[in-house]
Amino acid sequence: MKEYKQDPLLDMFRQSPDQFLSGEEISRKLSISRTAVWKQINKLRQAGYEFEALPRMGYRITETPMPLDEHMLAERLKSQKFGRKLHILSTTESTQEDARLLAEQGASEGTVVLAEEQRSGRGRMGKTFYSPFGKGIFMSIILRPEQPVHLVQQLTLLCGVAVQKAIEKTTGLKAGIKWPNDVLIGSKKVSGILLESKAEDDAVRYCIAGLGISVNIPEEGFPDELKPIATSLKVAGGRSVDRNELIVSTLHELEYLYELYKEQGFQIIADMWEASSVTLNRRVAVHTPRGITEGTASGLHSSGALLIRRDDGEWMPVFSGEIRVVPLDKE
């Protein structure tokens, strides 16, 4: 775990809680240049600390990160399988790849990999998931479902329902699900889900469910290209969220729905998904390798595909592709 207990600059702030320290004062006491002060401040920012900076006053810590806590998670988790084997990393390329390697080595179902930061967090269709240190939940879970590979899409929707329910229960915020793998607050994405599977003879050997949730990223903390389309729970709710609590809630929801799915099948999951969908009964544009098709999202196929009623009245199941909800004023 990345910590700064012996950091002289952090010690200065701890000795003067809620007070501003000028760059000049820091420079003098630590015998470093003003440029070095700025670099050290940014180093702490990357570790999850937040600062208020004012001209002629200096810097003041406004938020101290709460690290992922293995002991706290173990105490709070009441699940039978999910999270009972935890791997918590400080920094990694991708928790998906870490979990895949564990699955290949025979790791049991419910094994969880968590990271404070991902350098190359994976998203759908080759995209990346923004994963700054200490500001989100970047988690991969090993699943070993006994089912054919063409039904894996159902598990993506199941994971979306689990994340949506956990967010609402933990924060009180209203969240919706956009097919197939995004959880939104308002019109902005707060969570993404990636399900990757390994199969033999059309049967699933294992799946890796990757869940990314933007938890405590400040509004100014998003890259410019994400600011119009992404948000965090902190921005949406106006307060920081305990990541450990949300992890526990997510794993509880995921295990409950997974067992329900195995016992009762996909329809009960589909009903929950449809009740929280922001895609259904909306006009959508479907981007596939064959081009763009518009129509109305009207339901789920038994496989988990999205059913689109095209303008010519024909039904089209969408198994993969990018879905864009057409704004209401253009429907």
C-alpha span between 302 and 286 (Å, rounded) = 19
Residue 118 known to bind ligand:
yes
C-alpha span between 317 and 307 (Å, rounded) = 5
What does each C-alpha distance from 214 to 134, 183, 201, 231, 317 come to in angstroms?
Answer: 10, 10, 37, 7, 30
C-alpha span between 141 and 77 (Å, rounded) = 15
Q: Is the peptide bond before 180 cis (omega within 30 degrees of 0)?
A: yes
CA angle 100, 102, 104 (to 5 degrees): 70
Residue 46 known to bind ligand:
no
Give the pairing type, strands 283-288 and 203-214.
Answer: unpaired
Residue 122 known to bind ligand:
yes
Residue 96 known to bind ligand:
no
Residue 83 known to bind ligand:
no
Of 220, 249, 40, 60, give the one whose Cα is nearest residue 132: 220
Enumerate the known binding-site residues.
118, 122-124, 189
Enumerate the known binding-site residues for biotin.
118, 122-124, 189
